[in-house]
Each structure stands twice: as structure tokens, then as C-alpha cells.
Amino acid sequence: MFDFNTAEEQRSGFSGSLIPEGTIAIVVASIRPGGSGDGGLIRNADSGSSGLDFEFTIQGGDYDRRKIWNLYTIDGHTEGQQTAAKISKSALRAMLEAARNIQPSDTSDNAMAARKVASYADFNGLTFPVEIGIDTGRLKNKAHGPDSEKWPDKNIIRSIITPDQEGYQNVGSTGAKPSASKPAQAPAQASAGKPTWAQ
């Protein structure tokens, strides 16, 4: 016999409904292995591009433990793929700045060092605030016309909130668990002393 009396009650946050556009939340990043390069973390596509398949787990609040997936292109052959890679690398930089409390304009030696990683594996466990958005489902087959079947809408990471932006919270790599909230909050004050990532 399997007794589920001690299991938590089902929460409405897992009902399948989308998280509202503009919600601010703290997430923990992890990369789902793609089987290629750098410890098997890179995912190669048939189109010739390569990328990182990120999974973001919300920490705290009404959407605690909900997950959002974003694929970031890091290399490619076409002009479009290279443009996507440039955008992705900016997002990866923002993840490091947000998790390590580094101002984007900071060009000090410490800041420069904080934007470097030995491996993409160093992104696993980074914790930082984000703004969540909704990506409208695209056509499954464009050749079938604008009224044909579409993919369902899904949540995405609209932007990573860095220390220079409203709503930033300095939670570090293993920080506290603040609640997810729709309105942006006031910027957090930078903590004194050695930053979490450098300890």
C-alpha cells in the first residue's frame, strides 16, 4: 500500500496556467546536457547552430518550483545564427552580473574577473532575479496558412534583472528565497564585504 496522506496538497501554481507577463521572480539556473562539447553541455542543432538548453527553476512565492526553459544559441554559421549568438552571450553576461552583483558598467579588475567562467558548468546554480514574459505560440507549419495549427503559448525569461535595474535583488548564488511578484520592487542595496561568488 502507498500512503499519500503526508504528500503536499496540489497547488494552483501547477495547474498549467501561464505565469503572468511581467512577473518578477528569483530563479536558479541549470543547463540540461546536450551531449556535445564542454562536458557534454552543448546542444547541436540540425541547422548547424549550437546552444545551451537552460532550465530556470523559480525560487519562492506563488510560483515556487515552476520551471521555464530557454535555449540560447552560442554559435552558428548563418548571419541569423551569429546574431542570435551575440544576443545570447549578452544574456549570459547578464546572468553573471545579476548573480554576482556586478554593475554592467563596472570595468574594474574584480568585475572583469566576475564575468569569466572556466566552463559553462559554472552557470549551474547561479541565482538571480528575472522578468518573466509570454511567448505567443508560432505556426507549426507556415505553409498551411496563418489560421493553421499553432504551438501553445509558453513562458520565457523576458530579461535578466541586473544591479542597475529596478527590481534587482542581490541573492547571490545560494541566496534567500524571496517571493515572485508582478510589480517590480525597489533596487536592493549592494551588500558590503566579499561578494558571494568570490567566497
Residue ranges making up the domain that contains 54: 18-177
Q: Give residue 146's region: left, alpha or beta (phi > 0; psi -120 to 50).
A: alpha
| Residue 12 falls inside a structural domain | no
Confidence band of 104 (pLDDT split at 50, 70, 90)? very high
Examine the pLDDT at 175 and tell me if it is beyond 70: no
Q: Is residue 76 part of a domain?
A: yes
**Domain membership flag for residue 10:** no
Measured in Å, how far apart are the chain's first and last C-alpha atoms? 48
Nearest CA-CA partner of 32 in 69, 60, 1: 69
pLDDT in tens, 116-132: 999 999 999 999 999 99
pLDDT tens-digit readout, 139-169: 777 777 777 777 789 999 999 999 999 989 9
pLDDT value for 141:
75
Would you say residue 2 lies in a domain? no
pLDDT above 90: percentage of residues in the chain: 57
- How does the average pLDDT of the chain come out, rounded? 83
CB 108 within 8 Å of CB 101? no
Establish if 192 belongs to a structural domain.
no
Checking if the pLDDT of 62 tops 60, the result is: yes
pLDDT for 172: 62
How many separate domains does the chain show?
Answer: 1
Evaluate whether residue 32 is within a structural domain: yes
Q: Is residue 187, in this structure, part of any structural domain at all?
A: no
pLDDT tens sequence across 180-191 = 555 443 333 333
Q: Would you state the torsion angle of the CA atoms of residues 181, 26, 113, 110, taken in this order, to the nearest 10 degrees?
A: 50
- What is the predicted pLDDT for the residue at 48? 83
